Structure 1
Amino acid sequence: MNSPRIRHNDYSVLSPPEIGDWQPYLPVSVVIAAYGHQDKLDLTLAALAAQTYPAHLLEVIVVDDGTDPPLTLGEIRPDNTRLLRTTPDSRGRSNARNAALEVAEGHVIHWLDADMVTHHDEVEAHMRWHHLADYLVVMGYVRYVDEEWPAPAEVHAAVSAGAGEKLFDLDASEPHQWIVNLGERTDGMRTAKNMAYRVHITNAASVNARLLRAAGPLSTELVLGEDTELGYRLAQHGAAFILEPGARSWHLGRSMMMRDREQVTRYNAVFVPDRVPHMRWQRTHPRRQYLVPYLDVTVEAAGATYEDIRATVDGVLASDLHDVRVTLTGPWASLAEDRRAPQHSPNLDLLLVHGLYRNEPRVRFVERTPRSAVPVPYRLLCPPGWVPRPDVLRRLLADAAEHGYGLVSIALDETDVVVTARLEHTGAFARARLLAAPGEALDDVVEEVAGTYWLDGATWGFQRAAEATATKPGTSPAGGRDRAETARLKADNERLALRVAQLTEELDRLRAERPPSSHVRRRRLFR
């Protein structure tokens, strides 16, 4: 598939066909993890049996996650429906979905909860986007109903007639208010940039299967919030995220978040931010380290002096950006130390570097530079002997995130050759690799999908190792006073932006708990 090049998350370059006025050809696997509630599962399958998407392109995989007595497939269901069961040692929602992913044959995986009643064209509304590009995640609109359920035959008849909206009382239902608010704030996710991953919620989302398998399955270590974490990893593999109002479903009953918002939020705030560095409002401790850092600084150690490598690494570790990791590349596995005269050992500089940092948990040693820093969202490739002042990395990442740059090139020295450091956005480079034509320069594609930028290293606070050593702690080099004041003001702005993000999240929660104010408003949100 020759996919169009989406810049950031602005999918306006895609023009999906009108529902009912096109010819699909891609197969889709609908994956349903179920535990209990046979009555709701029967309604979910009955609605799927009435989809407008061609039956020969639709498979449904139901995974029973340990129900006793076991679940069965209702009489009204799509033709190509199968039932799997988890084992006692592989229970949990993520395990169930991963089991289905292993056997799914579709070009697209459509997550669906076992208590959803889809409208007749729900699958088609998703799939019309996936026919346009092969790196998409699509999220539908859900309304929550808490009333007596109709019979499976009644659901199938209504959905078959294109009258799924008449199955339940729209005025008495609730929208997924958080998704609605997110869509309204970001023009349907088009302006969401790095935060677009948050729209991935596995009750009604679809994902390109190849992209999903590249990003890895759902995390079985997370009991809640696993869909958000997977959405983040999909973003680091180049995904673009689409919010599709035409993909409509009813949710039978209120969600866990609606029933127990405070405790679910409290739980997720502990486990999810450890794996999602973009959740900056949750990573507020000035010295904490996390499972997935925000920045990886990669330094090519081979051929450099111990002093230059140490100056660079120590400068990075002294940064006021706390969630940072250093990757040192070199022939570490083949290092040999002279046991009688170690000062004359071959590769002495590398031995000294390894000895200095081998017990530093923020430093890792690899043989060669990895192609990608995934799942870390940013990587700085920094030549040894160049030292960022303590505030540089934080300011650099804040600037890159604000503008959405896929690549920031930092000019360090321009005497004989241009010496540069490179700040790479992992998701932008992943998307560029998906889209680059044979022989096309990757940086050129990054410019198209995210933008590139050059800046002056000295102005931003990169120093040579000798200059950094000569600068006493607490002082600034010539011209540093203005830069320090600028850095202070930017830090203040960042703190204010963080507070705004926190207040916005809180406002969303309050709005979600309050019923819509008018009949007209409710219908507009679910048109």
Structure 2
Amino acid sequence: MTQPRIRHNDYGVLRPPAPGQWEPRLSVSVVIAAYGHQDKLDLTLAALAAQTYPRHLMEVVVVDDGTAPALRLPEIAPENTRLITTEPGSRGRSNARNAGLALAGGEVIHWLDADMVTFGDEVEAHMRWHHLADYLVVMGYVRYVDHQPGTPAPAEVHAAVSAGAADKLFDEAASEPHSWIVDLAERTDGLRTAGDSAYRVHVTNAASVNARLLREAGPLDTGLVLGEDTELGYRLAQAGAAFVLAPEARSRHLGTSMMMRDGEQVRRYNHVFVPDHVPHMRWLRTHPRRQWLVPYVEVVVEAEGASYEDTRATVDGFLASSLNDIQITLVGPWGSVQEDRRNPLDSPLLDLLLVRGLYRNEPRVRYAERVPATAAPSPFRMLCPPGWVPGPETLRRVVDRAVEHGHGLINVALDEADEVVTARLEHTGAFARAALVRAEGEDLDAAVHDVYGTHWLDGRSLGFLVAAEAEPPKRGKSEDPALKREVARLRAENARLTDRLAALTSEASAPEQPKTTARRSPGSLLRRLR
């Protein structure tokens, strides 16, 4: 089908049908990872057995992650429900969900925790969005309720959900949602203006995603014990996903979440392990020289046909950037590069041989035979022709412009003498989205412009120079002289204003003078500060 074009994350262009007033056609697999708590699983399955979504379009895959004694399927459960068990060597929540995903046959994957009671139209509320576009991640509305084992009974849950009275099962007044999701939704018009931060709402206790998109982005990362939901949400965003909040998709979580019980320790743990995988967490990637598993920007330089000197000048320029969080991919026929062991100067493709030799031990440089299809999971890719050298702040300035304005593509004009020579910064998620929605024969850049926007900048004003004009980076010289002078000036001005403020504060706290003394207005104090 022709895909609707969601710009950034503004899914307001979609108009889902009212529950019960449409004809479903997509199949869904509800995947539940479970460990222990048979009583809660019984309630979860009892509620799913009362869903309004057509039974022939819904399957449930329950994955027992090594419970002893093993979990069982209760009497009240959806018709098409399977129970499998993870292998002893592959335990953990992510492994369990991935095992369920491997068996799931639905066109949509609906993640659900094993301690959730869904309202009767919860699955339908998710699925009516997926019928509108095939690149959506839909988040339901979860509230956390107190739960005492044995109450309510599975038959009571099934009857209440069937009657549309699931809200009568619990003390709704005492329930509470994910406060941080509510806060983000309120600040971003229900995620419509959330931009690149929308992925943060991805929590797999009640989320659904197009199965093709999920498998393209990859399953959950089994190397993460916590934070795996956020990391998968981030990768889905790089695959072109748009994130929808569906408050009508209601469910109740039996008991509080780990974040509610021990939020500070969860954050402390996640701040160690998750930023390696999620470059958008800039507030946690503050070290100026550290390297991370997933770089913020992939820089691509096509070395084939270029001189060693030009390629080196470009690569060295990027390696000296103030934005250190990068990886450089050198593209060329590296498999054909061979060194003549008797007379190395006679080696074919000598310039490529020299380039490979120069950076063979540089961890931020890798080699590829062709330009990679995507920069994912890195959120940005800069493509620059050899022979053009960025200044220390050039890359940071271009990326900051893209982030500030949400551009999907920034073209940088380098030269227009004989032909237009450009470098370009590509937003990974924007190009993935454009590839999903573009019409047959439509130029990809045009589709990017439609869903994210494009922009042109002048290379020289950004600090790009031809290799012959650029000064090679030197040890201990990470900034150009003009920038150093400006930093020194601003520091001196800051020190002057700090001293002046201290003097005025001291003056203001002095004993009050006789009334004949004129009192200065706030305006006069501001003028004195200046």
Greater shift after overlay, 461-470 or 329-338? 461-470
CA distance in 2, matches of 1:351, 1:474: 28
SS at match of 2:412: strand
Report which of the two structures shows the higher radius of gyration computed on alpha carbons.
2
SS at match of 2:470: helix
Identity percentage of aligned residues: 72
CA distance in 2, matches of 1:250, 1:165: 9
Per-residue Cα deviation, 1:57-95 (whole angstroms, up to 9, x for no partner) = 110000000000000011111111110100101111111
Tell me the residue number matched to 2:174: 172
CA distance in 2, matches of 1:481, 1:230: 39
SS at match of 1:467: coil
Per-residue Cα deviation, 1:138-186 (whole angstroms, up to 9, x for no partner) = 0011111113330000000000000111110111111111111111111
SS at match of 2:20: coil
| Residues 1:34 and 2:34 are matched in the alignment | yes
Aligned 8 A contact 2:392 2:480 in 1: no
**Which residue among 245, 248, 264 is the counterpart of 2:247?**
245
- The Cα shift of 1:344 comes to 2.5
SS at match of 1:276: coil
Tell me the residue number matched to 2:314: 312
Tell me the residue number matched to 1:138: 138
Scaled by the length of structure 2, the TM-score of the pair is 0.89
Aligned 8 A contact 2:317 2:473 in 1: no
Matches within 5 A, 1:111-190: 111-148=111-148, 149-190=151-192
Aligned 8 A contact 2:320 2:478 in 1: no
- The Cα shift of 1:383 comes to 0.3
Matches within 5 A, 1:22-421: 22-148=22-148, 149-421=151-423
- The Cα shift of 1:366 comes to 0.6
- The Cα shift of 1:469 comes to 2.1
| Residues 1:10 and 2:18 are matched in the alignment | no
Tell me the residue number matched to 1:513: none
SS at match of 1:437: coil
SS at match of 1:89: coil
Change (3 A) 1:483 1:60: farther
- The Cα shift of 1:482 comes to 12
Change (3 A) 1:287 1:81: same
Greater shift after overlay, 376-385 or 172-181? 172-181
CA distance in 2, matches of 1:30, 1:483: 61
CA distance in 2, matches of 1:290, 1:298: 18
CA distance in 1, matches of 2:480, 2:95: 54
Matches within 5 A, 1:386-465: 386-465=388-467
SS at match of 1:260: helix
Change (3 A) 1:122 1:341: same
Aligned 8 A contact 2:115 2:254 in 1: yes
Change (3 A) 1:258 1:348: same
Q: Which runs of 5+ in 1 are unaligned?
A: 493-527
Change (3 A) 1:69 1:475: closer
Aligned 8 A contact 2:9 2:194 in 1: yes
Report the AA paired with residue 88 of structure 2.
Answer: P
Aligned-pair RMSD on alpha carbons?
1.9
CA distance in 2, matches of 1:475, 1:73: 65
Equivalent residue pairs, number: 487
Per-residue Cα deviation, 1:362-400 (whole angstroms, up to 9, x for no partner) = 000011111111111100000001111111111211110
CA distance in 2, matches of 1:416, 1:152: 76
Matches within 5 A, 1:514-525: none
Tell me the residue number matched to 1:501: none
Report the AA paired with residue 68 of structure 1.
Answer: A
CA distance in 1, matches of 2:37, 2:316: 57
CA distance in 2, matches of 1:79, 1:354: 60
Change (3 A) 1:391 1:151: same
